[in-house]
Amino acid sequence: MKKELRVIGKPVPKHDAGIRVTGKAVYGHDIVLPGMLHGAILRTEHPAAEFTIDVSQARKLPGVVCVITADDVDVNNIGYKRDHPILKKGEANCTRDEIAAVAADTKAIAQEALKLIKVKYKVRKGVYDPFEALNEKSPQINKFISGKFPNKNIAEVFHYEHGHLEEEKKKSAVTVTRRFSLPRMTHTCMGTSNITASFNKTDGKLLLYSSTQVPFLYQRDMAHALKMNPSDIRVIQPVIGGGFGSKLDMHPFEPICALLSIKTGRPVQILYSREEEFIASPTRQPMIIDLTAGADEKGNFTFREINIIKDNGAYTSWGATTPFVIMQAFSSLYKVRACKFDATAVYTNNVFAGSFRGYGNPQATFALERIIDLLADELKMDKAAIRLLNANEKGEITGQGLHFETCGHKECLETVIEKAKGKRQKHVASGAEPAKVENPRFKNGIGYASMLHVGGGAKIYRSDGCGTTSKIDPYGYCTIITGSNEIGQGSETVLAMIASEELGIELKKIKVINTDTDVKPWDVGVHASRTSFVAGNSLLGAIRILKDKLNKKASELLQTNDPEFEYSDNKIISEKTKTTIALDKVVREMHFSEPNELAIASFFYEPSSKFQDKDFKGNVSGTYAFASQAIEVEVDTYTGNVKVLDIYVAQDVGKVLNPLLLAGQIEGGILQGVGYALTEELLMHEGKILNPNFHNYKILTASDIPNIHFYPIETNDKQGPYGAKGVGEAPLIPTAAAISNAVCDALGVEFLELPMTPERVLKAIHENK
Amino acid sequence: MKKKQKIAQRHKISFKLNSKDVSCDVKASAVLMDVIRDVLELKGTKPGCREGECGACTVLINGSPINSCLFLAINAEGKKITTIEGLTKEDGSLDIVQHELVQHGAVQCGFCTSGMAMSIKGLMNQHEKSNRGAGKNKKGQPSREEIKKHLEGNLCRCTGYVKIIDATEKLFVKEK
């Protein structure tokens, strides 16, 4: 018998909203430890230069406790490829490069000390274009890579293929080739990057208050960098002021802060200024995508051939691995018979990218969905119809081996097409009458895009699992100790709701412990939209074991052999004998009478997904998420300004766990996507960032929001907790693609790059005349 | 050297902070945010950009919202200042603004929330003030567009603002 859910699916406000809305939440910026010093970092003045450094004057400044350069530390390189020195020695290759660090009594003294450090630069001509970097004559930019690739400036390559490419090319009635160009976008978390490190010289243990998204990987990376034992490093996460992927990599300022603490034996704190945050925190990967795609005369997609050049910057971060996700979009979003994919990450003297919500997928989806519109134009087909024709289906195993056991793609498409009906496309190739033009200054258009993303974790590490310990105390309160992390997305709330649902304990009696690597069980971290899915399943496993113990005791106390107890209203109820016992009483009887036993249970959940083979084939996620968006824009042809009017979004979320939190993810993600489409670009000139502030790097404000119409699609995936799939990244992924399709529809122009700033829109209008 | 000392001279200021009288010595160049956070140790006011762009440090001065990172502390003399800590009631219960933000799911990472809540409170104060003694000519609730315009100076990267605007709209419906 399927019971009605009491808590799951309800709009429960955030479990931890109370501390955040009263100013009581302690972020890294708010931590003050006894005897704490303030750290500051000196970065190179030139993105490509040799240098010599003299810190003697800085060391003499009263209030300065420690100054370090590369010469003062014995450390390993960091980064995904271990090609990134924490402090750079003699040579700078990127405007972010850390060349010295100071710890002082006050922030002001630390800044003053930086000014006293004398650096002599011998400036070199940098390489800022990845194509130029691939030229044999260009200098080697990163000297720390082992050099297994034919070109010295290649950091990483990916190759994938399925199907018979040449045959499919022959079968194609139309073929379109385009080059797409994607900008640097940055996270702009409202809370800037921060760390507080406290090293105890007596026992050799290092305590870090860090806003990492991946505390256990971070602990390991930090230990490698500092040549320490990982278990001697304890990572505590204070409340985190935004993540969005920026805190997946460990960045140099973090081991630098640890080193300052190790040297001084005192706590040291480093807080980024907003300018530093723009300059020195990661970005979304800029890339050039060459895409050729074909379709047969009916509109069935035949093949895709992709070649991507990614500007890796001077060092390699997790961002270099985004082709894992990018190739999924190209190989498996909409059915396609053949696919050949190559991606190359190329070193330049630019800033390096990192991980950013969507992990390469917004770039891939932009190129793919734009080319689908172009294929439809060639075929004189309706842009909605060509998408419906090729949409993914339940049961499909794609060329890459992704198995869609549930699939809401078609339903998502149908929903947004239906809801946006009446918003007729302006440039209709299929012969239908286009919408009437009322004011020649303003032109409206509509665009569609879909997306495919992992929805049940992603098996990239040896384990994609999550551990949970759950206990009930003698007062009937439940504590969940989870490996997963809260970064504002609502993970604590979802876990508390699951415990409340399963144990019949009210939400206010549920506590979530999730911030301390010395306490919590292992978990990969917050990425790949995995937390609700993986941590939710892990908690359900722990509760199952806990309930077995409670059931046993309850059977004894109620003198029934009923195996089906109902947990409700803080009680355990036997349906059979109609008897009831208070949950806290059962726990007390377990704890305090012989044979004494704790009401506690642990479980480790590992998703059913598999590692991909060397050809990148395999079912990499427990389940997959789909979404479609239909977006109407209004373009002011006098100013080039694009106004997004309505966004219709349907997303296969598996099952709605909490509609309030879900809507928050959708709306927040979409607005980041609108920014990617229209306003956000970190501008660079010869390796330097030109707009490191909110005045010149525009993230959207309350005034810029479109009307968002959200339709959750429930496909109830049996792998997910209550049928749920991951939702966090999806809303951002198709937004820029759909907006660009809408702008192209409105103006009859072709956009192949982002963002579509007024300047670029006017240029496109002008060139089209 | 003499000149430097003069600049570094400290000034005693007294003002009302969250209904309590406080006084402290500050440098002429000190901004209110730093005094609130570092001298008076109220950490709820958040440092988002220190250049008046993000609004995370918004506090109320005599009921009106300002960016405390741009406001010189010496100009707080004799004024009434309210921070997020002062919005919460004495018994710990939430102010109606905080309550609606929570209920609407308008809080995610929360770093912008203090400033956002103070900005919304400022709008309510402004609305109430303009309606005081207005008799029949009372202004109706602000439109959604007016609310958006008012919140333009408070950036949020998590929520997409929808829930924040919904919460604010609800406050004015309740107020009526």
Q: B67 and B107: one domain?
A: no
Alpha carbon distance A440, A198 (integer Å): 64
* The predicted structure's pLDDT at residue A434: 53
B39: chain A residues, CB-CB within 8 Å: none
Q: Which of A278, A270, A346 minimizes the C-alpha distance to A315?
A: A346
Check which CATH number belongs to the domain holding B102 and give it: 1.10.150.120
pLDDT digits (tens, 9 = 90+) for B22-66: 999 999 999 999 999 999 999 999 999 999 999 999 999 999 999
Residues 6-35 of A with CB under 8 A from B: 11, 13-14, 17-27, 29-30
Measured over the CA atoms of residue A409, residue A413, residue A419 and residue A420, the dihedral's sign is positive
**Which of A487, A663, A699 is the closest to B105 by Cβ?**
A663
DSSP three-state, residue A481: strand
Alpha carbon distance B58, B47 (integer Å): 10
**Is residue B42 domain-resident?**
yes
Residues 734-753 of A with CB under 8 A from B: none
* The predicted structure's pLDDT at residue B1: 45
Q: B104 and B74: one domain?
A: no
B51: chain A residues, CB-CB within 8 Å: 274, 693-695
Q: B82 and B110: one domain?
A: no
Alpha carbon distance A299, A336 (integer Å): 11
Contact A453, A625 (CB under 8 A): yes
**Is residue B36 domain-resident?**
yes
**Is residue B105 domain-resident?**
yes
Q: B159 and B100: one domain?
A: yes
Contact A169, A196 (CB under 8 A): no
pLDDT digits (tens, 9 = 90+) for B62-99: 999 999 999 999 999 999 999 999 999 999 999 999 99
Check which CATH number belongs to the domain holding B22 and give it: 3.10.20.30
**Is residue B152 domain-resident?**
yes
Alpha carbon distance A728, A670 (integer Å): 11
**Which of A24, A489, A693 is the closest to B108 by Cβ?**
A489
DSSP three-state, residue A152: coil
* The predicted structure's pLDDT at residue B9: 81
Last residue of a domain, one of B87, B104, B119: B87
Nearest-Cα residue of chain B relative to residue A673? B160
Q: B102 and B71: one domain?
A: no
pLDDT digits (tens, 9 = 90+) for A324-341: 999 999 999 999 999 999
Q: Which of A191, A737, A727 minimizes the C-alpha distance to B155?
A: A191
| Beta-carbon separation of B49 and A274 below 8 A | yes
Q: B60 and B105: one domain?
A: no
Alpha carbon distance A620, A608 (integer Å): 9
With a pLDDT cut of 90, the percent of chain B lying above it is 85
Last residue of a domain, one of B87, B108, B125: B87
Q: Which of A427, A276, A505, A422 minimizes the C-alpha distance to A750?
A: A427
Q: Which domains are present in chain A?
A: 31-125+192-240+247-280 (3.90.1170.50), 287-458+613-768 (3.30.365.10), 465-605 (3.30.365.10)
List Cβ neighbours of B122 (8 Å cut-off, separation of 6 or more).
Answer: B58, B60, B63, B64, B65, B150
| Beta-carbon separation of B83 and A23 below 8 A | yes
Whether A670 contacts chain B with CB within 8 A: yes
Contact A12, A493 (CB under 8 A): yes
| Beta-carbon separation of B84 and A29 below 8 A | no
| Beta-carbon separation of A667 and B162 below 8 A | yes
**Which of B42, B104, B157 is the closest to A190 by Cβ?**
B157
Q: Which of A227, A242, A298 minimizes the C-alpha distance to A272?
A: A242
CA atoms within 13 A on the CB side of A317: 26
Nearest-Cα residue of chain B relative to residue A729? B158
Q: B118 and B166: one domain?
A: yes
* The predicted structure's pLDDT at residue A459: 87
Q: B64 and B124: one domain?
A: no
How close does chain B come to A230, measured CA to CA in Å?
A: 28
Residue to substitute from A32, A106, A190, interface B, most B β-carbons within 10 A: A190
**Is residue B1 domain-resident?**
no
Last residue of a domain, one of B87, B122, B153: B87
How close does chain B come to A704, measured CA to CA in Å?
A: 8
How close does chain A come to B155, measured CA to CA in Å?
A: 6
**Is residue B155 domain-resident?**
yes
Strands (E), A59-142: 64-68, 91-92, 98-104, 118-123
Q: B111 and B48: one domain?
A: no
How close does chain A come to B121, measured CA to CA in Å?
A: 13
| Beta-carbon separation of B46 and A490 below 8 A | no
Q: B75 and B125: one domain?
A: no
Nearest-Cα residue of chain B relative to residue A489? B108
**Which of B104, B109, B163 is the closest to A487 by Cβ?**
B109
Whether A246 contacts chain B with CB within 8 A: no
* The predicted structure's pLDDT at residue A510: 98
* Torsions phi, psi for A140 (to 5 deg): -75, 125
**Is residue B3 domain-resident?**
no
Contact A145, A155 (CB under 8 A): yes
ipTM of the complex, rounded to two decimals: 0.95
| Ranges of chain A whose pLDDT falls below 50 | 1, 427-432
Q: B151 and B131: one domain?
A: yes
For residue A307, what are its two tokens? 């070649």
Q: Which of A240, A345, A314 minimizes the C-alpha distance to A26?
A: A240
**Residue B124 belongs to domain spanning:** 96-175
Q: Which of B46, B85, B38, B39 minimizes the C-alpha distance to B69?
A: B46
* Torsions phi, psi for A598 (to 5 deg): -85, 145
**Is residue B2 domain-resident?**
no
* The predicted structure's pLDDT at residue B132: 85
| Beta-carbon separation of B113 and A672 below 8 A | no
- Calculate the CA dihedral of residues A695, A699, A703, A705 and round it to 10 degrees: 170
* The predicted structure's pLDDT at residue A702: 98
Element at A628 (helix H, strand E): strand A624-636
| Beta-carbon separation of A708 and B102 below 8 A | no
Indicate the number of domains in chain B. 2
Q: B103 and B169: one domain?
A: yes
Q: Which of A327, A361, A329 minimizes the C-alpha distance to A342?
A: A327
Residue to substitute from B54, B88, B158, interface A, most A β-carbons within 10 A: B158
Instruction: Grade residue B135 by pLDDT with cuts at 50, 70 and 90.
Output: confident
